[in-house]
């Protein structure tokens, strides 16, 4: 197996582990994972770079991780390099910019945390943090049929094909997906992509004035042009897809032991690859 394929496999596994909130503290506390992810930001394969950014974006959702992420040697500089590199795809630059803004404001958020604790908890359950980015917006989807890792993989593949999708995370217990998209992308495009799987159906979750929630179905007869993303290769080739091999399925929520076991393997790979 080539070094590039090894790197892609490792970073995709780390991304999937970071998508589970139960694994995020362990990944950040591991001495090898963060330095390795930062080095992946400069990898020649754009898919590796995007996967590494997405993993860090997941890790940054945990407030307790942000100061550590921000202070990690090379993190902020490497994010700036990705943002400024002329060869970086647009979605990659936007994701790097979003992470940079979140980490840059980490100190301010801690100072305001006590004052805004109640409001923050309500928002955090439904939205990605950092939604003040005017170039991006958050869409919350309730997906009927999102029952297992195979369906989740199918949903991931549908979302990754849409140009303008920045990042997403799943809340499997409540069949939801929180998606960050460019401000010019219509939410209907997400519904069209997920509904096209024929085994899942998406509705948009919106907040009402009294703080409640309302599920708004997407119009089935609405013709929405979905622009496919060609800048970034597919994340999961068929020979690595969770839908094809159950032993390589994305870590389920609660599978902490399995996740940490693979985390140790990933850390060993990063140590062998980048340290001397």
The confidence score (pLDDT) of residue 254 equals: 42
Answer yes or no: do 75 and 175 share one domain.
no
SS3 65: helix
For residue 241, tell me if it sits in a domain. no
Domain boundary among 117, 146, 176: 117
Last residue of a domain, one of 85, 117, 149: 117
The answer to whether position 28 is within a domain reads yes
Please tell me whether residues 66 and 142 are part of one structural domain. no
Does residue 31 sit in the same domain as residue 91? yes
Question: Is 165 contained in some domain?
Answer: yes
- What is residue 198's predicted lDDT score, i.e. its pLDDT? 92
Contacts of 124 (CB under 8 A, 6+ apart): none
Please indicate, yes or no, whether residues 108 and 6 belong to a single structural domain of this protein. Answer: yes
- Residue 276's pLDDT band, with cuts at 50, 70 and 90, is very low
Q: What is the CATH number of the domain that holds 205?
A: 3.30.70.100
Is 62 domain-assigned? Answer: yes
Domain contains 82: yes
The pLDDT score that the predictor gives to residue 59 is 94
Together in a domain, 68 and 149: no
Long-range contacts of 210-217 (CB under 8 A, 24+ apart): 211/122, 213/126, 215/142
Structural domains of the chain, count: 2
Q: Are residues 19 and 95 in the same domain?
A: yes
Domain, as residue range, for 190: 134-215
Hey, which bits of the chain come out as E strands? Answer: 136-144, 165-171, 176-182, 201-207, 213-217
Q: What is the mean pLDDT of residues 107-120?
A: 57
- 172 and 89 in a single domain? The answer is no
Domain for residue 61, yes or no? yes
More confident residue, 188 or 107: 188
pTM of the predicted model over 0.75: no
Do 49 and 144 share a structural domain? no
Note the pLDDT of residue 3: 54
Q: What is the pLDDT of residues 188-238, one digit of tens each?
A: 999 999 999 999 999 999 988 887 888 899 876 555 555 665 554 444 333
pLDDT at 2: 56
- Does residue 145 sit within a domain? yes
201 and 148 within one domain: yes
107-115 long-range contacts (CB < 8 A, ≥24 apart) are: 107/67, 109/63, 109/66, 110/63, 110/67, 113/63
Residues of 102-135 as b/e, b for ≥16 C-beta within 10 angstroms?
A: bbebbeebeeeeeeeeeeeeeeeeebbbbeebee
- Does residue 52 have a pLDDT over 70? yes
> Does one domain contain both 149 and 204?
yes
| 258 located within any domain | no
- CATH number (domain holding residue 69): 1.25.10.10
Same domain, 84 and 186: no
Q: Which of 55, 88, 117 is the last residue of a domain?
A: 117
List, for residues 136-168, the tens digit of each pLDDT value: 888 999 999 998 888 998 999 999 888 888 888
Q: Same structural domain for residues 92 and 201?
A: no
Helices H / strands E in the chain, number of each:
12, 5
């Amino acid at each position: 197996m080539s070094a590039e394929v090894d790197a892609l496999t490792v970073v995709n596994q780390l991304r999937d582990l970071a998508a589970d909130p139960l694994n995020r503290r362990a990944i950040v506390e591991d001495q090898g994972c963060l330095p390795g992810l930062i080095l992946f930001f400069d990898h020649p394969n754009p898919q590796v770079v995007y996967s590494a950014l997405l993993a860090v974006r997941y890790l940054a959702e945990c407030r307790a991780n942000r100061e550590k992420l921000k202070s990690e040697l090379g993190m902020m500089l490497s994010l700036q390099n990705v943002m400024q590199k002329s060869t970086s795809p647009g979605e990659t630059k936007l994701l790097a910019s979003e992470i940079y803004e979140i980490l840059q404001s980490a100190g301010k958020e801690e100072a305001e945390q006590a004052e805004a604790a109640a409001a923050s908890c309500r928002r955090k359950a439904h939205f990605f943090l950092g939604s003040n980015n005017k170039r991006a917006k958050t869409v919350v989807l309730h997906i009927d049929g999102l029952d297992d890792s195979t369906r989740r993989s199918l949903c991931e593949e549908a979302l990754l094909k849409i140009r303008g999708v920045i990042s997403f995370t799943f809340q499997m217990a409540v069949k939801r997906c929180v998606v960050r998209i460019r401000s010019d992308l219509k939410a209907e495009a997400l519904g069209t992509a997920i509904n096209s799987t024929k085994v899942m159906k998406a509705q948009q979750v919106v907040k009402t004035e009294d703080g409640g929630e309302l599920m708004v179905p997407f119009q089935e007869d609405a013709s929405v042009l979905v622009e496919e993303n060609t800048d970034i290769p597919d994340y999961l080739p068929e020979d690595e897809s969770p839908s094809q091999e159950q032993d390589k399925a994305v870590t389920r929520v609660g599978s902490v032991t399995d996740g940490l076991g693979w985390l140790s393997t990933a850390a060993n790979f990063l140590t062998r690859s980048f340290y001397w």
